[in-house]
Structure 1
Amino acid sequence: MSAALLKERGFDVTGVFIKAWQPPFMPCTWRDERRDAMRVAIALDIPFLFFDLEKEYKKGVVDKMIEEYKANRTPNPDVLCNREIKFGAFWEKAKALGADFIATGHYAQALQRVPLYKATKGNPLQLREGKDKEKDQSYFLWTLTQEDLSHTLFPVGHLEKPAVRKLAQQYKLPVAEKKDSQGVCFLGEVTMEEFLSHFIEIKPGKVLNTEGETIGSHRGVIYYTIGERHGFEITDKSPLSGAFYVIAKDAAANTLTVSNKESEILSLSPSKITVKSVNWLNEPESPTLSARIRYRADKLPITLVLAGKKLAVAFNEPVRGLSLGQSVVFYSGEECLGGAVMDKVAAL
């Protein structure tokens, strides 16, 4: 749909299919996806190119993701893909062919920013949430820079998903009724658990309560994130026990610690973390912002502080389900200012 909207606005548009990496044990699906993209290009009467970025994807996304899981952290491959592939290798190839812009189907907006934050070089833009708040993808774009925004177009960012579907039908695009893609793009129908089992030695282990007593078992520590309530077995419980949530992971001991007590879960939930790989699209003048710790999560009030020499994020209240390795993305209203990777729990 992005290509159709841009062509209507008078842009000289070329469709591009990017071939990502897929593991050899998975069924091949990229040819079907490429065929769909070619059908759209034919329907719009625009040129079509094929970019094989398999090596770049393996090195920049997959290998980094696996290393993070090995370190008992939960990475965000969609953020890596945007940084390394769509706004990295793809732009470099497009630029080499003479492109002035690249365009994606992200539900986000790049607009002239209002003068609320410190000036950056040139004519700064602001990355804003997409109009459709259920589909907004600004969370995955925090690694972008002003340079990236200057040559990037988000043609559907000002639209809601039903409107995009309706336009696709009006343009008679062959993918107008195609379901939205879900999950990590290179996994297809394969679960993350099955994928990781081919690259990391995983052993079942014990599930503990907060007293260190064994109350169940799990399939492998790396499969679980903090706050998760499914996938492990609790053998020592009563019918009134309620749901148990993962509150700690010990990779060395291969154990999960869980609890079904709200007060206990909150008391062990962090309210301050250090961050790394910080990126600002526009730096804030005030340390008081809001932040998301996962896609589609509610924004939480936060304060940026120093923990020694490291930047830290202080939450107003303990945060349940905070997973180290994931992204914390900073906002002022609907503007995405930047983000970072959650690194370690910090002392208060």
Structure 2
Amino acid sequence: MGKNNKKIVFVAMSGGVDSSVAALLLKKQGYNVVGVYMKNWSESKPGVVWCTWEQDQRFAREAASQINIPFYTWDFEKEYRGKVFDYFVRGYRKGETPNPDVMCNKEIKFGLFLKKALSLGANYIATGHYVRLKSTNSESLRIYEFAKKFLPPHSFIRKLAPIRYSLIVAKDNNKDQSYFLWTLTQKQLRYCLFPIGDYIKPEVRALAKRHGLINAERKDSQGLCFVGKVKFNEFLQAYVSPKQGDIIQVIFDAQGKRYESVVGMHQGVQFYTIGQRHGIRIAAGEPYYIVAKCAKTNTLYVSFHKYVNRFFDHVIRVHNIHWISSHMPHMPFSCMARYRYRQPLQEVTVMRIKGKTAVVKCAKVPVGIASGQSIVFYQGQKMLGGGVIAT
């Protein structure tokens, strides 16, 4: 038995290979592992399968059986709708581009799931995220754990902050998921394990094959968990009413003078994203791209060029800013950032913060940004935190 055999870990098992291998690795390390499938969404419409939760649950259950760990299903569907799905729909109704994965991590996986696991006696929770967790001082942690066990609650040592946690990008840069975890707090991270952060994807699949896991070759899930196999706009139209508006072509001449002309109609700005090419349905000699949109006037702006710098500014406002360390850096603060998953990092300077709103200056014009997107800050390999873009 390993040294961790008395530590209980509840693993969020999605039915995919990553979370199953996470459970496998923890079992091999000597932890007392419990697998849990979270049922977050089951709604569907006649004739269309949107969510494959029953299939996902079956894969998770069979993988847990192969690993020889207990398995349970927890129903968070009501909470998921209120905290994640409604947030998602509200954002699109306002013409924003919200990120439900970020909100799901904040409210469900590292919120409700963590809380319930701890209430049932878990020492930790674990997920299949590609990210690494680093602690500042393992000796401090040992002292703190000793103090918790043997010293009274009012003891000075027990009140010391024993350790600080950092999130580090995964070994597999292509799969790194730190972008989706910027809302996590020190209190949450002290109970988290990310077993596959030091593995690349082929190594994870190889481990699954070596141990005969049922999902070793299963394809990774794509897109939103509540959309499934239906086209995104088809899904969205079931919850957001279409509203016709103008499509305006924008042209700038050599002197920078702007010319506009109405070239068509659309069914609602919420169904389009910045940089989108397909689905505009305007006859032209070359494709149009969405370069801007205005929710207030329900207007889309298009151009033959994917990104038109004149629509964007070097300076953006960021709401709900959060730092993983819980400490605000001294301003101005220079670092790297990305405002889309897997986007190359960009140089930025956080100029000032008032409350939870920051002013961020980008070294290059941040083309293609949209209100509601997450911007996430990095320094070297460390993910510092993030916020929500307001344009």
- How much does 1:251 deviate? 2.5
Task: Give ranges in structure 2 of 5+ residues lacking alignment.
Answer: 1-20, 138-159, 251-258
Separation in structure 1 between the aligned mates of residue 84 and residue 161 of structure 2, nearest angstrom:
30
For structure 1, which segment, 72-81 or 29-38, has the greater mean C-alpha deviation from structure 2 after superposition?
Answer: 29-38
Question: Which residue, out of 25, 37, 41, partners 1:5?
Answer: 25
Q: Is the 8 A contact 1:13 1:47 kept in 2?
A: yes
Residue of structure 2 in register with 1:228 after alignment: 276
Please give the residue correspondences for 1:255-274 in structure 2 after superposition, counting only pairs within 5 Å: 255-261=299-305, 265-274=308-317
Residue of structure 2 in register with 1:143 after alignment: 183
Classify the secondary structure of the residue corresponding to 1:338: strand
- How much does 1:220 deviate? 2.4
Residue of structure 2 in register with 1:293 after alignment: 339
TM-score (norm 2): 0.81
Residue of structure 1 in register with 2:240 after alignment: 200
Separation in structure 1 between the aligned mates of residue 318 and residue 60 of structure 2, nearest angstrom:
39
Residue of structure 1 in register with 2:384 after alignment: 337
Q: Is the 8 A contact 1:218 1:232 kept in 2?
A: yes
- How much does 1:41 deviate? 1.1
- How much does 1:271 deviate? 1.4
Classify the secondary structure of the residue corresponding to 1:217: strand
Residue of structure 1 in register with 2:144 after alignment: none
Separation in structure 2 between the aligned mates of residue 307 and residue 170 of structure 1, nearest angstrom:
50
CA deviation digits over 1:152-197, x for unaligned, max 9?
0000010000000000001111111100011011111122211221
1:95 aligns with 2:95: no
Structure 1 residues 191 and 261, CA gap change in structure 2 (3 angstroms): closer
Question: How many aligned residue pairs are there?
Answer: 334
Residue of structure 2 in register with 1:23 after alignment: 43
Separation in structure 2 between the aligned mates of residue 308 and residue 92 of structure 1, nearest angstrom:
31
Question: Which residue, out of 162, 179, 196, partners 2:202?
Answer: 162
What amino acid is aligned across from residue 309 of structure 2 in structure 1?
Answer: L
- How much does 1:261 deviate? 4.5
Q: Is the 8 A contact 1:43 1:173 kept in 2?
A: yes
What amino acid is aligned across from residue 220 of structure 1 in structure 2?
Answer: G
1:84 aligns with 2:107: yes
Task: Give ranges in structure 1 of 5+ residues lacking alignment.
Answer: 115-119
Residue of structure 2 in register with 1:250 after alignment: 294
- How much does 1:266 deviate? 1.1
CA deviation digits over 1:120-177, x for unaligned, max 9?
9431111011110110000000000111111100000100000000000011111111
Q: Is the 8 A contact 1:219 1:232 kept in 2?
A: no
What amino acid is aligned across from residue 176 of structure 1 in structure 2?
Answer: A
After the TM superposition, list the runs of 4 or more consecutive aligned residues in structure 1 that deviate by more than 6 angstroms: none
Separation in structure 2 between the aligned mates of residue 24 and residue 171 of structure 1, nearest angstrom:
35
Separation in structure 1 between the aligned mates of residue 375 and residue 305 of structure 2, nearest angstrom:
26
Separation in structure 2 between the aligned mates of residue 175 and residue 307 of structure 1, nearest angstrom:
46
Residue of structure 2 in register with 1:34 after alignment: 57
**Percent of matched pairs sharing the same residue:** 42
Residue of structure 1 in register with 2:319 after alignment: 276
Residue of structure 1 in register with 2:82 after alignment: 59
Separation in structure 1 between the aligned mates of residue 56 and residue 354 of structure 2, nearest angstrom:
49
What amino acid is aligned across from residue 276 of structure 2 in structure 1?
Answer: E
Q: Is the 8 A contact 2:315 2:359 kept in 1?
A: yes
Residue of structure 2 in register with 1:218 after alignment: 266
Structure 1 residues 63 and 261, CA gap change in structure 2 (3 angstroms): closer
CA deviation digits over 1:272-311, x for unaligned, max 9?
1111111101244460010010000000000001387741
Q: Is the 8 A contact 1:228 1:321 kept in 2?
A: no
Separation in structure 2 between the aligned mates of residue 145 and residue 156 of structure 1, nearest angstrom:
20
What is the RMSD computed on CA atoms of the aligned residues?
1.9
Classify the secondary structure of the residue corresponding to 1:312: strand
Q: Is the 8 A contact 1:247 1:269 kept in 2?
A: no
Structure 1 residues 188 and 314, CA gap change in structure 2 (3 angstroms): same
Q: Is the 8 A contact 1:227 1:322 kept in 2?
A: no
CA deviation digits over 1:236-285, x for unaligned, max 9?
x4x3xx443222212243221112247x8112222111111111012444
TM-score (norm 1): 0.91
- How much does 1:203 deviate? 2.6
Structure 1 residues 7 and 308, CA gap change in structure 2 (3 angstroms): closer
Separation in structure 2 between the aligned mates of residue 70 and residue 321 of structure 1, nearest angstrom:
19
Classify the secondary structure of the residue corresponding to 1:212: strand
